[in-house]
Copies of this chain bind each other. A is one copy, B any other.
Amino acid sequence: MELDKPYYAVIFSSLRTEGDDGYGQMAQEMEELAQQQPGFLGVESARDGLGITVSYWESLEAIANWKANMDHRQAQRNGIKKWYSWYKVRICRVEREYEFNK
């Protein structure tokens, strides 16, 4: 199905360091904060060893604003310092989608 209006996905793939060290609380706070941002459409998350979080946004501008958010920037710094041994961020334009519902 072609989209009437394209939107954007941020694919955040990551490997965690050992221990929690405030990670769980931060992750919950960042998800709540993301949901309050203009242009936020939704988020999906899973982890078993590798973690994948995909957030969906109306525009590249909305993504840039979220990346620049001060509380989020602090979380990004701690992510590099403490919580992640590796991550990769991919910013994508959603071209098509389809869904199955039983």
Chain A positions within 8 Å of B, measured between CB atoms, are: 8-9, 11, 13, 17, 44-52, 54, 60, 79-80, 84-102
Contacts and interface: CB of A to CB of B under 8 A. Distances in A.
**A contacts with B: majority SS:** strand
A55 to B, nearest CB: 11
B99 A88 contact: yes
Contacts of A94: 90-92
B93 A95 contact: yes
Given A48-B46, A52-B46, A97 B86 contact: no
B100 A96 contact: no
A92 B92 contact: yes
B97 A91 contact: yes
